[in-house]
Structure 1
Amino acid sequence: MSKFSPCLWFDGKVEEAAEFYVNAFEESNIDKVDYYVDSEHQPKGSVLTITTTLAGQEVILLNGGPEFNFTPAISFFVECETTEQIDKLWETLSHNGEVLMEFGEYPFSKKYGWLNDQYGVSWQLVLSETPQSITPSFLFVGKQFGKAEEAMNQWIEIFGDGKVEYVQKNPDGTVAQALFIMHGQPFRVMDSGEAHDFTFTMATSFYVYCKDQAEIDQLWDAVTAKGKEWPCGWMEDEYGVCWQTVTNDLEKLLDNSDPDRAYRVMQELYKMKRIDIDTLRKAYKG
């Protein structure tokens, strides 16, 4: 299992979006569908999350409501192996979407383009002649401009098992492009001094799979020290990026094959900010 998985917050249309993405990317499928077991947040029995694999990367789609919108502050950098592959993907993702950088030849690639798809999710496509892969990319703008390198180094320190692969600087010392690895997974960061009217939102967050309560506590304290605590294990760091602590057995604890048991566990989860594994396990056992 990967250490990190992007979580995309949708206002409805989550099933439609899941089918759209699975059909768009190679090595993709729908792995699991979970449903709401109460009516406090969405109608009982409606889709809560859809876990997908897209180009080999786990991506969770959450049916959360209208509170948050996607922005290009977090995009997904897609490396494509062939011209045919990238052309097809661009055609699919750009349908009813918004082009941010025209699809064409650039000094750094024979084919590249940046777009928001019809659901608002932002994608950068590049011809790299390597197997199709998806890498989260963070764009630091506005009040966060100039903090890309600092954030990258802080995340490596907090989450561990990381290294910087390369950093390309702008003339003013800010980051034009940087690639780093955490727990074997690649991430990118960039700074932009242009007058963008967006920043990070909870529409795109990241599951962090934790092995035990000690790891949850360590990450929670480190991430929220200058950030914010949110319910159900969500934590926001000082840059405004949101992470979710997820236990390795949470999928079992929230299994809705027994609706009463799932309801008990979910009610305890709703009471929490920092995840308490023992409390969830006790609710599971009744």
Structure 2
Amino acid sequence: MRLRRLAALAVLSLAALTACGSDGGSGTSALRIMAPAAPGGGWDQTSRVAGEALKAAEPSRKIEVYNVPGAGGTIGLAQIAGEKGNGDLLMTMGLVMVGAIEQNKSKITLADTTPIAKLTEEYELVVVPAGSPYKTLGDLVTAWKADPTKIAIAGGSAGGTDHIVAGLMAKAAGIDPKQVNYIAHSGGGEALNSLLGEKVAVGISGIGEFAEHVKSGKLRALGVSSPERLANVDAPTIKEAGLDVELANWRGFVAPAGLDDEAKKRLTDLVTKMHDSPAWKDAVLKNGWADVFQTGQPFADFLAAEQTKVKGIIAEMGLVS
């Protein structure tokens, strides 16, 4: 009889532990943040800045940032999809991933996640190595039109923001976007290495990924994808070169699907606390990001609209078959 009671208690204890492990996370548990790209790029930078801001906002909470590179973030996306109900996990993502999902024909989409928050926007910068013969964007466009396939352009993943900007610039210059010699990299850090090693002629990425090397003189900024010149970037707009191109990259957080309302609120509150912290505000200012914080249904609606918009853009540019 005693053995039977002990067995029953063991079953109840196991059930309780299982329930605790699947309740969407606890208020004091460790939080993991996935950067679905290689170290050195925009997602990695955002993830690590967010991790430091979260540590400052909640010193007692353990924060781990880790990388899962590949396929424009869709490898990381597939991992998130396999973590259904895990309320202690966030993935940094953005416009790049929206395009990569289409480009890679990923069966896993953002519909398989829980939208948490849009964080920042950042414009794209077109740069060349310091020793490049192209002194202006006009010089580059002239050479590009003469032989489109000769100009190798480094950027992030295929179908991502950098690739889209290259395609839009080509189209505006009268070049078939399919002729763009775009060299995709798994992250901004790798694209930067190709530029500094002069393995490519041009680089396109977020301002924050090139800013330090533009200031040091290792890279020359030719144009920025903003509607007007920016105070923190010594470069004309792409529009000033006669190319009607304007695009902002955005980044945010999603969590695994299957979270209950309590777990979703807990994560949203935590990210809101991070956003409101002095550490995050300072990082946004330092990196030249625009603060576009948005949570809940408005962010979910924004995601849906972006997927429709980007799908149309990359289809028009011939980036998907």
Same fold (TM over 0.5): no
More helix by share: 2
More strand by share: 1
TM-score, scaled to structure 1: 0.27
